[in-house]
Structure 1
Amino acid sequence: MLSVDRPVCDTDHSLLPDSHLAWSSSYKSSPNGTRESDGVSFFIIQGLTSLGDKQMILFVFLLLGYIIILGGNSMIIFVVQVKATLMSATCLLSALTDPKLSSPMYFFLSNLSFVDMFYTTTTIPKMLSSFLSDTTTISVPNCFLQMFFFIQLSVTSRSILTVMAFDRYVAICNPLRYTSIMTWRVQLFLIAGAWSFSTICTSPATIMALCQPYCGPNVVTHGWCDPSSVRRLACADTSVDAIVSLSFALVALLTTGVLILSSYVLIGISISRMGVTERLKAFGTCAAHLTVVTISYTAASFVYISYRVVNFSPEVRIIVAVVYAVLTPFLNPVIYSLRNKELRDSIRRTLSRFRSAVSATKDINTVS
């Protein structure tokens, strides 16, 4: 296996066995009869294969976490969005509808849950399959698609958190104008802006990485197609790519972070002028969001530091990255369910009414 620490494009491929050539690259014949590299056709995801039997422990925890992420976020989407959209279709959905969850805050929350579900789906299923096989491969196009959507959905998640911070600012600082400001058109505009911002921040670095030649090593020392890990495999100078990637990452993090911080500074100033009762009520409306933002940015900072600590082994870095990728989507539904009484009560009523509706349907079928 070729070293993945640095590109090895000047290797004499005639010295390598044919099986390796077929494994790592596709080749074409040149006029003088020699074979020249035409670029790798797929990448090998190294993952955590070095852990041996311990992989199954991680497999179980990761699988359970993924199931909870899908279940918890699906429940939020159903309670907030699907019932309201389809309530006129059947009497059952009408009975399940909870009008208390029609405010903009819950609309943004359901969008955040949607993003979290697909964000984890870009990486976790592939990692789970890697635990069950000796070698995990991914085609070059799929690798860059995974890279794009993983980064894009991560930025989209933070952008939606920024939109939610603005929503809390309007609700607390301008409560009388909240309804007139946060109209349906404004909500759609904010969500479209979040997706557009994430796409703009993600596309340049991904396109530049895709345009690089990959002619030698094809082993990605990560759990998925991480940009920095794939960049090391390029057979060309990637210093510009690294600068562009870091620049847009800083733009994404600093823009969303500064806007969220500014919103909460203004919220704090407004809360300081309220009475004790109003202050507690106002703090309660943004406690869940503030908790999620704190965990998200703290975890991101820890991952950033771990990637730059030389003493950390590749396996530790991968585990840290996996925990980061799973942590926030896992905690979002838990935190909002625990900290938000309306959402918690709505989920409880939904489950209760659904059981009652199912029981009633069974009784009717039994009688007929």
Structure 2
Amino acid sequence: MKKLGLIINPIAGMGGKVGLKGTDGPAILARALEMGATSHAPERAAEALEKLLDIKEEIQILTFPGDMGERVAKQKGFSPTILLKGVISGKNTTCEDTIFAAKELLKQKVDLLLFAGGDGTARDICESVGSQLAVLGIPSGVKIHSAVFGCSPQQAGEVAQLYLKGQSTQKKLAEVMDIDEDLFRSGVVTAKLYGYLNIPFERRRVQRLKAGSPASEEAVHQAIADHIIHNEMDADTLYIIGPGTTTRAVMSALNLDYSLLGVDCVCNKRLVGKDLSEEALLKLCAQHKKVKLLITPIGGQGFLLGRGNQQISPRVLHFVSRDDLFVLCTPAKLCSLEGSPLLIDTGDTPINQKFSGYIHLITGYKEYVVYKVR
């Protein structure tokens, strides 16, 4: 019988929808809770575990009390072994709990460590086990720059099943990256390599490392911005502007203040909201008859929604039609995908399907590419 270690960081991703760009540290967590943030890592873990039900009798899940794994595993019908009872409470967990839990799973010699969290959680796992265990992340955080996660919770579960059944034995050392959240909230991205995790690898199911934008793309950004302003912007329409250097070029061309890594809104070429939370976006959407969305893929990974822009939630996306989604993508960013499809992982299957299929990418002034979204 195979041993599957499960760690859930219950606070991962809580800062996303409220616009805090992460939940590292007790002060930010407290602020997120004050703003109405809720935990979604457990439900993301549940989606991954769904894919393991077929081999339920062939695996033993080793996990930790309460929200760190026990509750979700039992809800999905597993009979997990609970480790460190009385040592870890399972509520209000810290990075120390994650580190301690991962070290325990290393002692237990699990065949695979599956964790739900973001880059901060990946750092803690990396610190604890290095490359000594096979590890795979269920994407649940705000910042997911690292290359150690499944493209979605479901695909993380699929990779875990294939690996545990011995149908996929390929592994690779994948980068664990993280950024300084305080600088990130000020619009400065400083990503750092913290180490490597040994992950089961399936090219179509495991996400890539996030790639940055070279300075040489500034002229292309300007061309895309000019196209949007002169050809796509209608009167009395709310434009939701997602994070990224490509979308920010539109704000710069309009001479408007903006948040590089947040979500802003424009109507009649005037700023009507800056660095908005999910709730603030919902209020603005309700006030306008027409809502359009401008976003750009994450370089190297290809995610359109569900990574770094969780404020643009499924509830917000109900206001946006498929025809009113504008994807801004430079040719260099497109090349970085190496033909892999663009990805959507909002946590809402109907919304994911609504925007999937083939769409037009705006790659320059009146220049388009038809590309697949999955």
- Output the TM-score relative to the length of structure 1: 0.26
Q: Which structure features the higher share of helix residues?
A: 1
Give the structure, 1 or 2, with the largest relative contact order (CA under 8 Å, sep 6 or more).
1
- Output the TM-score relative to the length of structure 2: 0.26
Specify the structure having the higher radius of gyration (Cα).
1
